[in-house]
Amino acid sequence: MDYIQYELKGPVAEIVLNRPDAHHALNEQMLFELKEACEKVSESEALIVLLRGTGKSFSAGGDIRMMTSGHDPDQFRQLMDTIEAITLTLYEMKKVTIAAVHGAAAGLGLSLALCADIVLAEKNAVLAMNFIGIGLVPDGGGHYLLKKRIGEAKAKKLIWSGKKLSAEEAAGMGLLDGTFNGEPAEGARPYVETLLASPLLAMIETKAIFQSLHIDELKKVLALERSAQERMRMTKDHQEGIRAFLEKREPKFQA
């Protein structure tokens, strides 16, 4: 794999985003590799999974070049299939999952982090559900995952504003389970060590019970996000948002 690394160390598995020169912007190849890695880890005997990035960021979100490649219905369908498969595999895997965020976690990158059972961020990290800036809606289950953590009203405001949150702000509103200093692997280590000394099988059974109550809702949200995203990709707002991003200016949206 070029952009994703994964390693099994007994009961602990790591999935590492490895496109640091692009701040782990998620293009088609990287998403396909991530899907493959998640599926392999899900089928492994590991009981704890750590998701993290290398370099300066966790993930800047979807690759902007992928969004400017034109509207090919087959390509779009394959892309959304991959994103949905990653989301569901991360959410459903019978492991205790940890996302350790550093630098930026934006857009789809944030959605993927929120799939984890335990979400941590380095104290200088910045988090943003910023699809609105390019005239899109969150995908990767972002609507459901935000609602689960902070409630519908706060989730809606966060999505509409696209606000950048500091780790402190994100923790204060319940988006995070903890913060750390330093590198992601080291920051997550105390949590991993605590879990290794815990009755993990019982914890995973509790996770499965809660998931069984809500998995149909997540699947419905993923379907609604796909439909909405397909419509939004065709709007003038999206086209203006992409142009403004590439030209490094504020977008001028028109109702």
List C-alpha distances in Å: 239 to 29, 128, 252: 24, 21, 11
Structure tokens at 226: 């796909």
Mean pLDDT of the chain: 95
Mean pLDDT of 92-111: 98
pLDDT attached to residue 71: 62
Kindly list the structural domains of the chain, giving each domain's residue range(s) and its CATH number in brackets, ordered by start.
4-182 (3.90.226.10)
Q: What's the pLDDT tens digit per position in 170-199?
A: 999 999 999 999 999 999 999 999 999 999
Residue 241 has pLDDT above 80, yes or no: yes
Among 43-52, 70-79, 109-118, whose mean pLDDT is lowest?
70-79
Residue whose C-alpha is closest to residue 105's, from 58, 141, 138, 144: 58
pTM: 0.95
How far is it, in rounded angstroms, from Cα 147 to Cα 177?
15
On the question of pLDDT at 144 being above 80, the answer is: yes
